[in-house]
Every structure is written in C-alpha cells, then in structure tokens.
Structure 1
Amino acid sequence: MQNQTSSTPPTEPQREAAPTRRVRTLTAPARRFRTPLVTAGAIVAVGALVGSGYAAQSNADAAAARVAETQALALAAERDSVQDLEVDHGAVLDVRAEQQAKDTLDVAAGAIAAAKGKADATALATSVAALDSYELLSPRKVFELVDQAKTQTGQVTKAVAEADRIAAEKKAKAEAEAKAKAEAEAAAREAAESDSGSDSGGVAAPSAPANPSAAQAIARDMMSSRYGWGADQFGCLVELWNRESGWNVYASNPSGAYGIPQALPGSKMSSAGADWASNPATQISWGLGYIADRYGSACGAYNTALSQGWY
C-alpha cells in the first residue's frame, strides 16, 4: 500500500485553481466600472420619462384650454342667438297684431254700415273704437280686442241677414198680393167688358134709362166718379136693382134683405153711414162698393143675378 504512493505533485491542483482567482480578481473592477454606467443610464431614462410627463401635462392643459375656449365661444353665440330670437319674436308679434287689427277693423266697419236700420251694432262700435288705437296697445291686448270684435261682427252680420230675410219675405208677400189684386181687377174688367154686350143667355145688356129717377141719377154719378163706369154699366145697374127692390129705399123681404141694393142683413149698410135705413145715397154707396169688390162691374153682378137669381 505504501508502495503505491502517488507521483502527482500535491501542488498541481492548486495551480489549476489559481487562474480562477485571478479571473475573479480581474472581474471585480469591471463590475465597479459598470455600476456608474447603469446608474447614469437610469438617470437619463428617468429624466426622459419625467420630461415626457411634463410635455404630456402641458399638451393636456393646452387642449383643455382650447376646449374651454370653444365652449365659451359657443355659449356666447347661443346667448346672442337667443337674444336675437327674442328680438325677432317681438317684432313678429307687433307686425301680426297690426295686420290683424287692420283686417278686423275693415270687416267690422262694413258690418256696422250694413246694420243701419236693421240691427244693433252698439257693442261692436265700442270694440272698434278701442281697437282703433292698436298702435298704442300691447300685442296681447290687440289680439284680445280682435277676437272680441270678430265675435261681435259675426253676431251683427247674422242679425242683419235675418232682418234682410224678413224684409224680403214681406216684400215678396206685398208684391204677390198686389199682383193678385191687379190680376183680379183685370179679370173683372175683362168680364165686365165681355158681359156689357150680352147677358148669360146671350141677350144684350139693358140700356140706361133716358130719364132716371133721383136715386138712379145719384147712382149714375157716383159709379162714374168712383169706378169710371159708363152708360153700359149704368144700364145693368138700373136693371139689377129694378129686379131686387124697384129702387125703393125701404124695400125688404122675409129673408131680412133691405134697401135699394137688398143688403142682407140691411144693417151691413151702416158701414157706409148711420142713415143707411132711409138715405138712398148711403145705400147706393154701399151697394156699389159691394158690386165692385165682388164682381168687378155692374154688368157682372147683373149677369150673376140672371143666372142664379141673386147676387
């Protein structure tokens, strides 16, 4: 065992380790030199970051300022626009109030003129007087008066229309009555002319007497002056009342007829005078009026009496 002593020097392993220590010895200074470099780099990086932070903050502040400025300008513009709108709205109201007042006054004036003698336009005239000063009134007051005047104008116009309708109906009725009367008179005259030459059987009308009695003379003059009847109608009248009463002022019959025209009852003749019972002129006046209204002529009454026995 002792003979196997190793021939390798004991110091060889130490030689191999020596370089390692030298390396480490040499590496340590290198590390010392690297530390300042890293530190400097970090400082530069931090500075860069800090610098960029300040720059970002400045940009943000500028942007915020621009936004605030824009908002302020927009608000100012909006305020100006609202003020302009308020001014414009007031001007529009003034124009509308003036135009409506003028239009309403024109229409109301026409209604007041049309209402004269037909309808009461006092209330409308009062409103018109107030609205006539529209230039001194607020638009709101003008619009109130316009509405009031329009309502009253409608009422007056309706009243005028109703008055016109009633007047038109009265006029039409009067015209119809006048026309009917004219036609009746024309027909009576035609009938009298037709009957003056003949009776209902074709017999010639009676001729007037050459020497009429006093009563007949009264009748002749009265019929001529009142109705324009001539000798032909006088002949018919003489014959008619010859048949009825013989021209006796006191003639009567069982039916109650009385006097020359044989009024039934005799008291009807009181409308011609209080002396109807004894005055031939009063009786003749009533009898001629009755014949003219009922038959249109003396010959018309005479022919009727011939055909039916009475008139």
Structure 2
Amino acid sequence: MRILIRSPNWLGDAVMAFPLVQLLKENLLGVSLQIMTRGYLAELWEVHPAVDKIRIIKGGKLREIMMALKMRKEAFDLYISLPNSFLAALSGWLCGAKSRIGFATQKREFLLTHPLPLPQKQHRVFQYLNLLKPLNINVHRLPPLRPKIDQSLKEKAKGLLNPQKGPFIALNPGAFYGEAKCWPEENFMRLGRALIKNGFQVVLLGSKKEAEKNERIKNHIGENVNDLTGKTSLKELMAILTEMGCLVTNDTGTMHLGVLLEVPLVAIFGSTSPAFTGPWKGNNIVLSSSLPCSPCFKRKCPKGDLRCMREITVEQVLSAVLRIVNASKS
C-alpha cells in the first residue's frame, strides 16, 4: 500500500502529526509512507523513523499543483490531507490517489473520498488522529516516538554548548505567529539573570527573525549565555534540545520539538490555548492566563497591553523551572 501524506506547513503542527504517521506504519503491514512537504520542514520529517520518502514542494501553489499532476503515474492508494486548505485537498485529487482523507473545510468535500467533520474542541494531535477512522485504526494510546538523531549531530551540539559549563536551561523568547504569543522580552532578561544566579548556563534559541531581540536579552543577562539564535539547522536544534535540563518557551514550533524529544519544559500561554496546542506528553509545566479575554488567538493583542502574558511573573516561571530540574534529579 502506497500512502502520500500532505504535511502541515507550520513546524508545530507537523510535529503534532508525528503520532498519526507512526500509527499508520504500525497498523498497515507493508505500507510505504511518503511525505509531501515544504522544504523548510524536510529535516523534521527525516528524523521520523516511519517515513520512507520525502517529496519536497519547490515553490508556491502552482508548483504544488504541477508536482501533484506529475505524481499521478505513481498510483498512490491513499492520500491524507493534514492541512485544511483547498489546495491540500486538490493536490490529493490531482495526484490520482484512490482514497483521499481530510477534514471537510473550505468547501473541498468533493475532492475527498472521505471528508470528515473537523472536531472543534480537541487537541491538534487528537484532531489529526480522527483521520485514521476511515482506515479502521482505533487509537487507544499514543505510540512511542523515537526520532532519529545522528550521533554526529549530538557531538556537534555538545561542542557548541561546552558541557563543562552546564547544566543548561534554554530560553526561546520568540514566536513566528506573532507578538501576542510572546512573554515580554524584559521578563526573559530578568529570568536569565535569575537562572545564572542559581548556577545554570543559559542558551538562547530562535530563528534569524529573533536575532536582534535575543541579542538584547543576551547583553542584559551578561555572562554565561550562549546565543545560538539563527545558527542551527532544524536537526542541530533538535540535538541541542536533548542536552537541555529545561526549555522555557512560548507556544511555538520549538516547544513542540521539545515535547517530541521529551525535553522537560515550561510553556507560557496567553493568546493561544494549551488545551488545543499545548504539550501533549512528557515532563512539563504549563503557565497560562486566567483573563476572560484569553485565549483570543490573535497575532497582536486586541487591547494592546499583552496583559495575559504580563500577568505571568518571572517568579512563577523561575519556580516552575526549579521544580522541573529538581524533579529530573530525583
């Protein structure tokens, strides 16, 4: 059986699809699993042991359409559309897959052989698992996930970190989706200084987009800060995360990588809901707002004050980090 899965376009969503892909491999004997994805997520799917081949979409919407048409000759038995977009369902129809499963969104039902209702109040991981129902795969538990991280990457990570200076706490101050997801910059500064006083080495993580922000945070914290912002590939980031005693993060793709790798973490939520996109396994503490306007799911705070994030104090986050680190020691 040949299966083509259209990957989500966001890093966090793609990570949350890992259990679905693993369950397909475990339940369908002799299956060949291929992932159709944007290039920036190729390294992520390379670490999934159940994936047999990665098909990279090189370009925009027209390129995806052309790519799907070229795959008609490959006779896929099944196509699963993880994105809810019309284009993702169209790609499955164009590639000629016999069966096509996806959620009934954006008036695309006619492109799918199995259009399913989108569950509205369910964590994203379990939303995706609903797509297994037409295959009679009943999910009683989340499968163990064992990402493949080469030893050479682990050695490189240790070289970047200098293990003699640990233990390490990673701070991830950014969020690609928007500023409403971000705990205030000055709070990360104060937290970093407090962590140094408690004997930790601070590691700053983020994309090139957060380089200036993280540079300011680094300069304020002072010594014992290793700024790796924008300096790692996706696989290198994963290897670095495995060396962390704890990850302090907003609701981001990096948070979900931490969950996947079972890195102890403190996740800070304001504009989004941990019930829908929070950590879904592992040792973690979630801190979220109690304000009636939270979660608003906006890129920018509608009220302009980011109060939902500001009410989560540095002292709360530091306490959570110390609890997680101490629990890991025992």
TM-score class, shorter-chain normalisation, is under 0.3
TM-score under structure 1 length normalisation: 0.20
Structure (1/2) with the larger strand percentage: 2
Larger radius of gyration: 1
